[in-house]
Amino acid sequence: MEFLKPYTALIENRLQSLPLPQKPSGLYDPQRYILGMGGKRIRPMLSLVSCGLCGVDMERAVPAALSVELIHNFTLLHDDIMDQADSRRGHETVHRRWDVASAILAGDGMFVQALLMLQDVPPGCDHKQMMNELLTGVNTVCEGQALDMEFENRQDVSLGEYLTMIEGKTGALLSTSMKLGGYSAGADEDQIRLLDQIGRSLGLAFQIQDDLLDVIADPSQFGKIPAGDIREGKKTFLMLTALEHCSVEQKKSILGYFQKRPLTVNQIDEIISIYRSTGTIEEAEKQIGSYYKRAESALDKFVDSNYKQDLSNLINYLKNREI
């Protein structure tokens, strides 16, 4: 991903010079720790490239870019507690290495740092509008997380509800990242609408792709337990699509398996064969393709630039990922 380097180099450089105090170490050490874990930095890259798409040097979008990356890390700190995750990016999670109280507090503190970062938007930007965009974006992420938790205990989740949930959990912050980049460039309403469409579509495509890769990815490369989602009885795009298309008997037996998680290897194989016989795999591929297409059509409306080429490259890279 050579084309990403100018963006990630700028982001890493600025993240490292964040003015986080040394003390109290209980508040700031976990913040430094999770930021030091790295990550793909997709969200800040989207802010920078969006600023460029609107005709302004990406440097102007640095505060917005850092802000969304800090927001993302704040949500990871809290999500890892909620999901009881032991590791992230090959490192112990903060609530394991420290404790739950420290991880809650570090997340709260990082949320504050993210918002303080947005205080530094360059002169001429509409600070209040950008703050509004960021806050409503984070609230939508919270709503998505609440739906995700609610779905665990419900057997009647519809595909539409699922799409609302992933649009909140993943799409909202990608869209916000792009719009804040646009606002940093003084983008007009049409441009903001296009950036929103790209971010939202990428989020949906990416998430359904995750659901699909869980089933079809090469286990030696995927880095997760294959079919882990089925094993846990998660309501994914594939599961909900299959439940809409399978026979009454198949539906009854799948919902029965959900009562006794984790599912056995035989039950997992049975479900994968239902995915195949009901055309669920093809339906997922079709949806992913259509969301990426939506993102590309919106991107097409911007004038040509290196930024446009870079985002096009990123979309191609994401489209073809196998892990």
**Which of 5, 124, 128, 249 touches a second copy by CB under 8 A?**
128
By CB under 8 A, name the one of 18, 27, 159, 216 that touches a second copy: 27
CB of 72 to a second copy, least distance (A): 13
Judged by CB under 8 A, the stretch of 10-18, 141-149, 204-212, 274-282 that binds a second copy is 141-149
Encoded amino acid at 301, one letter: K
In this complex, which beta carbon is closest to a second copy, that of residue 82 or of residue 255?
82
d(CA 187, CA 73): 27
Among 147, 166, 212, 263, binds a second copy (CB under 8 A): 147
- Indicate which single residue of 12, 92, 108, 296 sits in contact with a second copy (rule: CB under 8 A): 108
Instruction: Candidates 42-50, 61-69, 146-154, 309-317: pick the segment binding a second copy (CB under 8 A).
Output: 146-154
Among 64, 105, 204, 240, binds a second copy (CB under 8 A): 105
Q: What is the DSSP letter of 40?
A: -
Angle at 271 between CA 269 and CA 274, to 5 degrees: 115
Q: Does 163 bind a second copy (CB under 8 A)?
A: no
Question: What is the rounded distance in angstroms from the CA atom of residue 201 to the CA atom of residue 203?
Answer: 5
Q: Is 127 in the site for a second copy (CB under 8 A)?
A: yes
Among 13, 16, 87, 119, binds a second copy (CB under 8 A): 119
Closest listed residue to residue 163, CA positions, set 115, 211, 225, 227: 211
Kindly tell me which residue out of 18, 145, 222, 305 binds a second copy, with binding defined by CB under 8 A: 145
Sign of CA pseudo-dihedral 102, 104, 107, 108: negative
Q: Which residue has the tokens 């882990």?
A: 228
By the 8 A CB rule, do 205 and 233 touch?
Answer: no
Q: Does 78 bind a second copy (CB under 8 A)?
A: yes
**Considering CB under 8 A, how many residues would be counted as binding a second copy?**
36
Work out whether 24 is an interface residue with a second copy (CB under 8 A): yes
Span near a second copy by CB under 8 A; candidates 85-93, 144-152, 239-247, 290-298 = 144-152
- Judged by CB under 8 A, the residue of 1, 9, 82, 255 near a second copy is 82
**Options 46, 53, 54, 138; binder of a second copy; rule CB under 8 A:** 138
Q: Which residues contact 108 (CB under 8 A, 6 or more apart)?
A: 74
CA 243 – CA 137 distance, rounded (Å): 31
Residue 187 has phi, psi (to 5 degrees) of: -60, 155
C-beta closer to a second copy: residue 153 or 320 = 153
Residue 173: which of 8, 281, 44, 259 has the closest Cα? 44
Nearer to a second copy by Cβ, of 177 and 280: the residue is 177
Mapped to the 3 state alphabet, what secondary structure does 158-206 carry? CHHHHHHHHHHHHHHHHHHHHHHHHHHCCCCHHHHHHHHHHHHHHHHHH
Q: Which of 18, 37, 85, 131 forms a contact with a second copy (CB under 8 A)?
A: 131
**Under the criterion CB under 8 A, does residue 9 sit at the interface with a second copy?**
no
Nearer to a second copy, 79 or 296 (CB): 79
Q: Both tokens of residue 6? A: 């100018």
In the structure, how many helices (H) and strands (E) does the chain have?
Answer: 17, 2
Six-digit token string for 181: 């980049």
Name the residues that contact a second copy, by CB under 8 A: 24-27, 78, 81-82, 100-102, 104-105, 107-109, 111-113, 115-116, 119, 127-128, 131-132, 135-136, 138-139, 142-143, 145-147, 149-150
